[in-house]
Amino acid sequence: MSVGIPEIDEDHKRFIVLINDLNRSIADRKSPDEIVRRMEDIINDTARHFDQEERFFFEWQYPNISGHAAIHASVLKTLNAMKEQFMPYGHDSGWVDAGIKIKKILIDHILKEDMKYADYYHNHRGSVTNHKRDVNQ
Ligand SMILES: [Fe+2]
Ligand SMILES: [Fe+2]
């Protein structure tokens, strides 16, 4: 699942860990407070990661910044809506499905969408590097 860009791969690995922690808390029937807190950790981490990716896109002059950013916004909207499902007042059988769905949404994003910029980055890295050098002169 690597995009071959170390800073981004680190982020992806970290939020997979957070998602696995959430799913374990759900399976272990931890307190609703803990589950909501883990969900908030995922949302905050994902938002920070998406911002970082978008900053890289500008640096790389990636042609589909707005398209990818719109997908980021939509993923965050979905995650926030799902967090509401974890808000209520006790355990719910729907939580297990929600935890699995969150994992799928984020992994699918990496595999389908992030891989597109990974291809661009690896095909254009020479010109990206030159651009950075020009900017810094
Ligand atoms: Fe990503
Ligand atoms: Fe992304």
Fold for the domain defined by 6-136: Four Helix Bundle (Hemerythrin (Met), subunit A) (1.20.120)
Tokens for 1, please give them.
Answer: 């699942």
Ligand 1 (single-atom ion) residues, CB below 5 Å = 114
31 phi-psi bin (left φ>0, alpha ψ -120 to 50, beta other): beta
29 phi-psi bin (left φ>0, alpha ψ -120 to 50, beta other): left
For ligand 1, the distance from its centroid to the CA atom of residue 81, given in whole angstroms, is 20
For ligand 2, the distance from its centroid to the CA atom of residue 51, given in whole angstroms, is 9
Where in the chain are the domains?
A: 6-136
Res 129 pLDDT > 60:
no
For ligand 2, the distance from its centroid to the CA atom of residue 65, given in whole angstroms, is 10
Q: Is the pTM higher than 0.85?
A: yes
Q: Which of 124, 134, 113, 120 is nearest to 50 (CA)?
A: 113
Average pLDDT estimate for 10-20: 95
The answer to whether the beta carbons of residues 77 and 69 sit under 8 Å apart is no
For ligand 2, the distance from its centroid to the CA atom of residue 125, given in whole angstroms, is 18
For ligand 1, the distance from its centroid to the CA atom of residue 102, given in whole angstroms, is 14
Structure confidence by residue, pLDDT tens digits, 72-115: 999 999 999 998 877 766 667 788 889 999 999 999 999 999 99
- Report the distance separating Cα 106 and Cα 39, nearest Å: 13
Beta strands, E only, 40-137: none
State the angle between helix axes of 94-108 and 6-27 in degrees (0 to 180), rounded to the nearest 10: 170
Average pLDDT, the chain: 89
For ligand 2, the distance from its centroid to the CA atom of residue 89, given in whole angstroms, is 33
Ligand closest to 65 (CA) is 2
Task: Please tell me the predicted confidence (pLDDT) of residue 137.
Answer: 44
For ligand 2, the distance from its centroid to the CA atom of residue 68, given in whole angstroms, is 6
For ligand 2, the distance from its centroid to the CA atom of residue 73, given in whole angstroms, is 10
